[in-house]
Amino acid sequence: MQFNHPVGDSGMLQYSDKVVRGTPREDSLLILQFLKGMVGKRFSFLNYYKEIPVSYDATLVHVENEMAEFELHEYQAKVINLERKALIYSHAESPVKEDILGEAFYINPLKKKVILCNFEYAKIRSNMRRFVRVMLDRPVEADMIFEDDITRGNIMNISLGGAAMHLVSRDRLVPGLELNLFLKLPDILNGDITEVGLSAMVISVTGESAPYTCILEFHPEKHSQQQISYYINQRQVEIIKELKELNS
């Protein structure tokens, strides 16, 4: 069995690893053969909207011409319409333990219907996250404090455990570096800015040119943790409201 770990890819690939059991064609046909015997059964879908998991059960209603039709939740359909793919958790009756990734052929959120094709095996790894992560529409400014200098960057996504930060320079930033960080977290309700200080460690820095992406692991004190948690909760509510109002 072969595992392919995508690097620097976007979309659904960042949430799962591709698993090849035979050849891609053989795998697709095996998945379809399994699905044909599961018409009328319920499957658990997984997508992400701005890093927030969207996971509802769906009913398999039809399998034909190497395509499978599902009835599913409106919110799931909305996100599949954006991502053009869907992850499906391994079913209890499946002969294999792998999850499934399908490509969207047809989606109608109003009718709560999706038709998937080009199936492959996958291993969902995003549900191993310890913390809820949110994507930011408006980047949060952050200052990295060095002995004789301050480097400013923009936080692009954040959790209680860490963040991804865009920077114009990667000087001094090496994996394992411990530093002090000041986040300028806005209160989404009233626009006030709260400066939150904490220690962090550089996990990785990627990019051939600016903006570089620095992945940070947070080591916050209790008060800082509470402030970050408050901000993430606000952002979660904002994202869920946006998903509900999303025009498909």
pLDDT tens per residue across span 29-54: 999 999 999 999 999 999 999 999 99
Q: Which two tokens stand for residue 146?
A: 């060095």
Burial of 173 (0-12, 13-18, 19+ CB in 10 A): buried
- Per the prediction, the chain carries an average pLDDT of 90
Q: Identical fold at 2-128 and 134-244?
A: no
Confidence (pLDDT) at 127: 67
**Distance between CA atoms of 105 and 240, rounded to whole angstroms?**
26
Task: pLDDT band for 128, please (50, 70, 90 cuts).
Answer: low
134-244: CATH topology is Thrombin, subunit H (2.40.10)
Q: What is the pLDDT of residues 150-204, one digit of tens each?
A: 899 999 999 999 999 999 998 889 999 999 999 999 987 888 999 999 999 999 9
Asked whether the predicted pLDDT for residue 9 surpasses 60, the reply is: no
pLDDT score at 76: 96
Integer Cα distance of 219 and 240 in angstroms: 28
Sequence spans of domains, the chain: 2-128, 134-244
CATH of span 2-128: 2.30.110
With the C-alpha atoms ordered 121, 126, 129, 132, is the resulting torsion angle positive or negative? Answer: negative
The confidence score (pLDDT) of residue 108 equals: 94
What are the tens digits of pLDDT across the range 192-245?
A: 999 999 999 999 999 999 999 999 999 999 999 999 999 999 999 999 999 999
**Per-residue model confidence (pLDDT) at position 148:** 76
